[in-house]
């Protein structure tokens, strides 16, 4: 559920990048930070300690332009993937409006992906999110590496979940924007059905998608 701050005339949408350790969640946010115009994008804030790339979480705040009086803020978070940091994962996932599950395409990571996805489903339940209605995109990252699952294998495994699947090389940036557009679109549809964003707040899907550079005609 989006945070609707009537006093401040502001709506805050929370999107969480979830997945196993080192799958590329922070790299997705770094690339989005580079893509989005500095006027609309804050700094990528990371709390890190030496030897543990993401001890706590990253946050990237983004402002979208709207036609109405309400301002629209989108907060992107990453969770720490390490098994030990489940409490942080739960706290970050709480009140999420949409989730990008970043999986590592390498064959040897299949088990970690599966465990992390199960952890996402369990934690969603624990923080009171309806997992089956939660807007969710599954991104298979690190497509540039050798010994990765083929797109056919991934589609066969993940197709039955009915979740959109995207492919990326976050290091280079390929597929990062497409993944983000997919989750923005799904999240908008879900929130519009609940809060009537278009009619009550004059916030349309294009306001969200316009955050990103538009393809040249
Ligand atoms: N080869 C390759 N490396 C990647 C890709 N995405 C991220 N990485 C690297 O994988 C490591 C972990 O990435 P990071 O974003 O910190 O993972 P996180 O733990 O999910 O936040 C870093 O060294 C990244 O540079 C990718 O698509 N391809
Ligand atoms: Mg990270």
**Using one digit for the tens of pLDDT, what is the confidence trace for 121-180?**
999 999 999 999 999 999 999 999 999 999 999 999 999 999 999 999 999 999 999 999
- Look at residue 41 and tell me if it is in a domain: yes
- Look at residue 214 and tell me if it is in a domain: no
- Look at residue 216 and tell me if it is in a domain: no
CATH code where residue 8 lies:
3.40.50.300
Beta bridge partners of residue 104, listed in sequence order = 141
pTM above 0.75, yes or no: yes
Residues with CB under 5 A from ligand 2 (ion): 26, 54
DSSP letter (8 states) at residue 49: B
User: Which residues constitute the domain of residue 205?
Assistant: 3-209
Task: Take atom 7 of ligand 1 and give the residue whose Cα is closest.
Answer: 24
Cβ–ligand 1 distance for 157 under 6 Å, the answer no
Cβ–ligand 1 distance for 1 under 6 Å, the answer no
Residue 119 confidence (pLDDT) above 70 = yes
**Using one digit for the tens of pLDDT, what is the confidence trace for 191-215?**
999 999 999 999 999 999 999 998 7
The pLDDT value given to residue 207 = 96
Q: How many domains does the chain have?
A: 1
Three-state secondary structure string covering 117-185: HHHHHHHHHHCCCCCCCCCEEEEEECCCCCCECCHHHHHHHHHHHCCCEEECECCCCECHHHHHHHHHH
Residue 53 confidence (pLDDT) above 70 = no
CA of 26 to the centre of ligand 1 (A): 7
Residue 49 confidence (pLDDT) above 90 = no
**Using one digit for the tens of pLDDT, what is the confidence trace for 69-91?**
999 999 999 998 888 889 889 99
* Mean pLDDT to the nearest integer, 110-115: 96
- Look at residue 215 and tell me if it is in a domain: no
Q: Choose which residue among 24, 116, 169 to substitute to test ligand 1 binding: the one with the highest number of ligand atoms within 8 A of its C-beta.
A: 24
> What is the length of the chain?
217
- Look at residue 36 and tell me if it is in a domain: yes
- CA 141, CA 187: separation in Å to the nearest integer? 21
């Amino acid at each position: 559920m989006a945070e609707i701050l009537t006093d401040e005339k502001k709506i805050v949408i929370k999107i969480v990048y979830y997945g196993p350790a080192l799958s590329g969640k922070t790299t997705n946010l770094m690339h989005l930070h580079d893509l989005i115009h500095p006027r609309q994008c804050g700094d990528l804030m990371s709390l890190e300690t030496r030897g543990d790339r993401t001890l706590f979480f990253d946050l990237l705040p983004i402002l979208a332009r709207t036609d109405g009086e309400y301002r629209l803020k989108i907060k992107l978070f990453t969770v720490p993937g390490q098994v030990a940091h489940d409490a942080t994962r739960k706290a970050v996932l709480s009140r999420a409006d949409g989730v990008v599950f970043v999986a590592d395409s390498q064959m040897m990571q299949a088990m970690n992906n599966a465990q992390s996805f199960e952890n996402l489903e369990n934690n969603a339940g624990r923080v009171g999110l309806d997992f089956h209605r939660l807007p969710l995109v599954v991104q298979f990252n690190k497509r540039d590496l050798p010994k990765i699952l083929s797109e056919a294998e991934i589609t066969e495994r993940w197709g039955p979940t009915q979740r959109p699947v995207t492919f990326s090389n976050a290091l280079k940036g390929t597929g990062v924007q497409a993944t983000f557009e997919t989750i923005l679109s799904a999240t908008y549809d879900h929130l519009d059905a609940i809060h009537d964003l278009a009619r009550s707040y004059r916030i349309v899907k294009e306001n969200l998608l316009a955050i990103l550079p538009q393809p040249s005609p």
